[in-house]
Amino acid sequence: MSRSEPTPEGGVGTTPNRLVPRFTPAERWVHRAVAVLMGICLLTAAGLYVGPIAVLIGRRELLKTLHVYAGLALPLPIVFGLLSRAFRADLSRFNRFTPADWSWLRSKDRRSGRVPIGKFNPGQKLNAAFVAGAILVMVGTGIVLGWPDPWPLWVRQGATFVHDWLAAAVVLIVAGHLWFASNDPVARSGLRTGMVPMDWAVREHPAWAREHETGSRAGTVDP
């Protein structure tokens, strides 16, 4: 039998095999759809702008079409995700930096569970903010590059500069995101199944674990 009880310090004691909900199906599909579209954009960009890859693949017009329309579609999963109450609630969590977040950034033992981090740690919040801003800027500059005729030369030049350098930054951020994900199989499982073990939640997101326990006792559990 799996059971959780408050610890004397106000935390949560739990057996390792107890699973708790972290993400709803709607949230997981938003993440997957954005990941697929972003992957298409990055791969087709490599086929368009990296010489050896472009020569190897060829079919430039097809790559260009895929790149343009995958880029235009990038905001759509997020827009549809707004229909989900859980997704909107998580967006509000991303928009708040708490004193615990600043302490977590300064802490050398941030993964010990000592700092009362909520559902998302500061690294995840900063990553989400960057990706959301990058999507908007990349779509805007991509429209200028894809349909250049209405725009003056200085706008096209500026859009090219911003689009290319922001794309390089996106590659680095995505690589870092994948590296961190590769080192946390429980977090990956949470995005795949929507469930995580409570002991992981207590260690990585103790304030969210306590919030979940409070909601469970009150009968108002919300991922």
pLDDT, tens digit, for every residue of 78-135?
A: 999 999 999 999 999 988 888 988 988 888 877 777 888 999 999 999 999 999 999 9
Task: Say whether pLDDT at 5 is over 50.
Answer: no
Taken in order 177, 179, 182, 187, is the CA torsion positive or negative?
negative
Element (H, E) at 103: helix 99-106
Per-residue pLDDT at 57: 77
pTM above 0.85, yes or no: no
φ, ψ of residue 123 in degrees (nearest 5): -60, -40
Q: Say which residue, 220 or 213, is predicted with more confidence.
A: 213
3-state secondary structure 164-179: HHHHHHHHHHHHHHHH
Does position 1 have pLDDT exceeding 70, yes or no? no
CA distances, 200 to each of 18, 207, 216, 218 (Å): 10, 12, 17, 22
Task: Give the span between the Cα atoms of 4 and 85, in whole angstroms.
Answer: 27
Supply 147's token pair.
């349909």
10 Å CB burial of residue 26 (0-12, 13-18, 19+) is: middle
When mean pLDDT is compared over 39-53, 89-103, 130-144, the highest value belongs to 130-144
Whether 213 contacts 6, CB under 8 Å? yes
pLDDT band at 47; cut points 50, 70, 90: confident
**Whether the predicted pLDDT of 221 surpasses 70:** no
